[in-house]
Amino acid sequence: MIDVGVLLLTCAMLIQLNWREPQERLISPAYWVQRLQGKDLYDPRGVLWHGNRNRPEIALTFDDGPKPETLLVLDALKTEGIKATFFMVGKHIKEHPEIARRVIEEGHAVGCHSYDHQRQTLLTEKQVWQQIWDSRILIGRVQGRFSAYRPPWTDWNEPVLHAAQAHKLPLAMYTYATDYQSHLTPEQWANRVARMTHNGSILLLHDTYPTTADALPVLLRTLKREGYQFVTIPEMIERLP
């Protein structure tokens, strides 16, 4: 008799070579039900998992800013003519409003990443709602508006989802998380990321790591050579099949 769990795990390991999807998703029976229903990209409740697999588009996302290092990231993106999505922490917006303003003025999308980077699943729905609200007030003061919500560590549950829904914000997950590792050259890191990138990928990086900011230009040029176009999270949602 075939062990369904072992079969799913084996299929996941093989499929992951091409899809680059998180293995925990691929071994979940619920994932395959969603995929058959065409709901594996964007959950109707408002959870973005993946972009359109039929378009050579990817979304660059940066978490935890704005911080002084964000300026280096902005410089690299401006040089390459690329727009990204910045998931900002409310208290960091309060500390660096001028950096948040520059992100917005240069045409990038902004999302909420909580007010103080607490693990949102340990809070009540009302507390999560308040974290988003306090952050919305601050981003509004620099003429910004959130287009999505990414809880810290992308850790969420039903109360977190309901709080985001109350603010009419989709949850934005990711397909591959990476930051520059010092034991690699920037070229090696960029090539590794490129191998893990495919149509519809959502890449998660941090604009608060100086090493990532320094190596970012190499990554951007590498992904461009692979033929990818760059979209923001709201643009990715608009282009879903």
Q: Which residues are catalytic?
A: 63, 206
Taking a C-beta distance cutoff of 8 angstroms, is the pair 56, 227 a contact?
Answer: yes
Please provide the DSSP assignment of 55-117 as one string.
Answer: S-EEEEEEES--STTHHHHHHHHHHHT---EEEE-HHHHHH-HHHHHHHHHTT-EEEE--SS-
Q: How far apart are CA 99 and CA 68, in angstroms?
A: 8
User: In Å, how far from its chain's centre is CA 9?
Assistant: 25
Q: Is 42 helix (H, G, I), strand (E, B) or coil?
A: strand
Q: How far apart are CA 165 and CA 142, in angstroms?
A: 23
Beta-carbon contacts of residue 142 (< 8 Å; ≥ 6 apart): 93, 97, 100, 101, 104
Q: How far apart are CA 67 and CA 160, in angstroms?
A: 25
